Amino acid sequence: MEKNLLLQQLDGGKAADFLEKMYGKDHAKENKNRYLHVMEGFVQAFKNTDMYLFTSAGRTEISGNHTDHNHGKVLAGSINLDCVAAAAANGTDEIHIISETYNQRFTIRLDDLSPSEKMAGTIDLTKGMLMGFQEMGYRIGGFDAFITSNVISAAGVSSSASYEMLICSMINTFFNGNKVDVVTYAHVGKYAENKYWNKASGLLDQMACAVGGMITIDFKDPLKPVVEKIDYDFGAQDHSLIIVQTGKGHADLSAEYSSIPSDMKKVAAVFGKEVCADITEEEVIARVTEVKEKAGDRALLRALHFFEENKRVEKEVCALKEDRFEDFLELITESGNSSWKWLQNCYVPGSEEQGITTALALTELFLKEKGCGACRVHGGGFAGVIMAMIPNALADEYIAYIEKAMGQGSAYRMSIRPYGAVCVNDFI
């Protein structure tokens, strides 16, 4: 779309409604300015005034910690932090991307999509997505993109998956006539991480970033995950969802993450199966000695977390549908305790750095004194962020309290937004 027409539309009523739904009334204007900024950046970089706007959400994991990769259940939502881009097809066999946030500018030729020896970084990830689309039978082509992001990096709100789903939306819009569904987006992102990053990720991050709103997903059949939108307004419960950055990011912890699905699959293998979704908790307990001998104690504990976490997701969905918010908060606390004790993903064993457990301990003390709220590790764990649900009347006090320990600006108030990875032009 030509720049002047796009500017007119951004000033219109449809755009105002879209921005308010996505970012909230208090943050609509600043995010409109982000769109204007990427438009200007695109024009300056590529000398082209014809463009499309894209946005892709970060995500919050409400519950279902490390269950997706073993085909379990999750409760998640797309959040108001996002990647924003201006982009256009360029009619060549090259992709040119400028990532302002990470100070990157790179070119990828479509005839060279092999990963680097390092198998890391944005270029490899982008190549992996392009190859994923090709292997799934979809078209790819050359395009230019100017991208900015406020999704917290390496912190469990899926900055990488947000980027992946942004690129998927571009490829869908430019080359596939919007015929690619968001489940395919997620599989493309998973393919890129598995094959081009050697990261044994599941589909949770990608699905939560791409779909939009609050969703529950059953990954029993990973090729056809069952996705249900949950129509629930956290704001109406007078609580804030707060993400706290605890210090070190988790960009260099792939081995720790990969150990979790590996351990769970060791337990499944005792029963001749590939993933824990194909066995039951009762079967494991009935043969617990054999499981311990063949898979190990840690694998057993992680499998037990998987089974119990699946049940919690079901209970949480029921609690939300039946408007039992206090029960929902208790289940959030249960989930956090299980991740800490059974899943064991709140710190790296042997490390003196324990930002997540420190933030959780301080938050638990705060919540105990106030007699309300809930908290848990958020995302992959080992480092990164925690999540707290705090009554609005106490949110400012909590943020001031936790930032004394974790640093100024470490706490972020989140909201759930209705759309995940989309071409903005379609909404304004």
pLDDT of residue 231: 84
Q: What does the alpha-carbon distance between residue 210 and residue 276 come to, in Å, rounded to a whole number?
A: 26
More confident residue, 336 or 157: 336
Report the half-sphere exposure of 365 (CA within 13 A, side-chain side): 7
Mean pLDDT of the chain, nearest integer: 93
pLDDT of residue 156: 58
Q: What is the mean pLDDT of residues 79-97?
A: 96
pLDDT digits (tens, 9 = 90+) for 213-235: 889 999 999 888 898 989 887 76
pLDDT of residue 40: 97
Same-domain pairing of 265 and 224:
no
pLDDT of residue 250: 52
Same-domain pairing of 74 and 208:
yes
Comparing C-alpha atoms, which of 318, 336, 348, 314 is closest to residue 388?
336
Which runs of E-coded beta strand occur in 100-204?
A: 104-109, 143-149
Same-domain pairing of 220 and 369:
no
Q: What is the mean pLDDT of residues 328-347?
A: 96
pLDDT of residue 151: 87
Q: Which run of H or of E encompasses 353?
A: none
Q: What is the mean pLDDT of residues 24-53?
A: 96
Same-domain pairing of 179 and 33:
yes
The rounded radius of gyration (Å) of the Cα atoms in the chain is 21
> pTM value?
0.83
pLDDT digits (tens, 9 = 90+) for 126-154: 999 999 999 999 999 999 999 999 987 75
pLDDT band at 337 (very low <50, low <70, confident <90, very high): very high
Same-domain pairing of 63 and 89:
yes
pLDDT of residue 157: 64
Same-domain pairing of 296 and 346:
yes
pLDDT digits (tens, 9 = 90+) for 251-286: 567 788 889 999 999 999 999 999 999 999 999 999
Per the structure, the count of domains in the chain is 2
Same-domain pairing of 295 and 308:
yes
Same-domain pairing of 13 and 147:
yes
User: 125: domain range?
Assistant: 3-229+419-426
Same-domain pairing of 211 and 288:
no
